Amino acid sequence: MTAAMLISGTIGWFVLMSGQAVTDVVFWRCSFGALTLLAICAAMGLLRPGILNFKIFAIAVGGGIAIVLNWLLLFAAYSHASISIATTVYNTQPFMLLGLGALFLGERITFTKLFWLALAFAGMAIIVEGKPTETAGSGGYAIGILLSLGAAFFYALAAIAAKWLKGTPPHLIALIQVSTGILMLAPFTNFSAAPQNAGGWSILVTMGIVHTGVMYVLLYGAIQKLPTHLTGALSFIYPIAAIVVDRLAFGHVLGLGQIAGAIIILGAAAGMNLGWTIPLPWHRNGHLSKRTAE
């Protein structure tokens, strides 16, 4: 899980260093990722007939559309609001999932969950107000935040699709998703702008093999072996790694307001993911059991 999150935290660097348009980056990521996942699925015996039916396949394709749109928006956000801010805002995805889960899965929204949602919203407001001075008067920073929020929304849609696909081999789902991305983006990809040297291709190949194929294997393997609370805790390595990479590679330093907002958002997301409870002021003993909090 740690390795998967560290790999995820470096993807922003690869996206920006590729020098490619966002649609081209995602197309090549899907292409090389599909080849990697095809080999993995073949080795695991997941390509045999009977594993999928039409309904499962259709839901997986829908999830693939969502995950590709998620990548497009998140990668586009990097150049507007920096990798650090885009990744932090992107971690509002648990709250997007909260609303979608209530809408599509009938999941209950509790007071505690609403508290963490409100806290994350406060962190978001602080980040918006804490924009760097060099972007003052420019809409680029706000656009980056909106793109990140859009990416979080589509990630939540993909997560809902994954919930509907419970029991389906996850590596096969990933293969369908990236294959869907190839078909979606092929008409919009500028093949004449493909890299002209080995260095450029190595970045795209790495994103496909390492950041897609290998990362999926590590992530799903971890989810199968670890308890949910530990999986949730380790997932916060991803935004921390992205902030460190942004600082070391591009020299981006967060302002005090941005740091405060990031801490609040990540703290709220941690409370949401790990099921932290809060004491309610009107409780007669000033303490609250987990059941009452929920």
CA distances from 56 to 166, 168, 189 (A): 10, 8, 28
Q: Which residue has the higher pLDDT, 249 or 228?
A: 249
| pLDDT for res 276 | 84
Which residues are within 8 A (CB) of 267 and not within 5 positions of it... i.e. 6 or more apart? 119, 123
pLDDT digits (tens, 9 = 90+) for 4-42: 999 999 999 999 999 999 999 999 999 999 999 999 999
Q: Give the gyration radius of the chain's Cα atoms.
A: 20
- The more confident residue out of 125 and 283 is 125
Any residues with CB less than 8 A from the CB of 183 and at least 6 apart, and which?
none
Global pTM reads 0.86
Cα separations in angstroms, 148 against 83, 90, 227, 246, 263: 10, 5, 28, 16, 17
> How much of the chain exceeds pLDDT 90, in percent?
53
pLDDT on residue 288: 44
Confidence of residue 139 (pLDDT cuts 50, 70, 90): low
Measured CA to CA, the distance from residue 81 to residue 190 in angstroms comes to 25
**pLDDT tens digits, 39-93:** 999 999 999 988 899 999 999 999 999 999 999 999 999 999 889 999 999 988 8
3-state secondary structure of 177: helix
DSSP state of 284: T
Spatial distance between the Cα atoms of 31 and 205, rounded to a whole number of angstroms: 9
pLDDT of res. 236: 87
Higher pLDDT, 130 or 106: 106
Dump pLDDT digits (tens) for 191-244.
Answer: 999 999 999 999 999 999 999 999 988 988 888 788 877 887 888 899 999 999
Residues sharing a CB contact under 8 Å with residue 31, sequence separation 6 or more, in sequence order: 178, 182, 208
How far apart are the C-alpha atoms of 257 and 133, rounded to whole Å?
12
- The CA distance from 66 to 29, in Å, is 15
Q: What is the rounded average pLDDT for all residues in the chain?
A: 87
* Residue 257, pLDDT above cutoff 80: yes
DSSP code, position 226: S
**Which pLDDT band holds residue 290 (cuts at 50, 70, 90)?**
very low
Residue 8: name the closest of 218, 156, 264, 222 by CA: 218
Tell whether the model's pLDDT for residue 262 goes beyond 80.
Answer: yes
**Structure-token pair, residue 207:** 């994103």
pLDDT at 221: 82
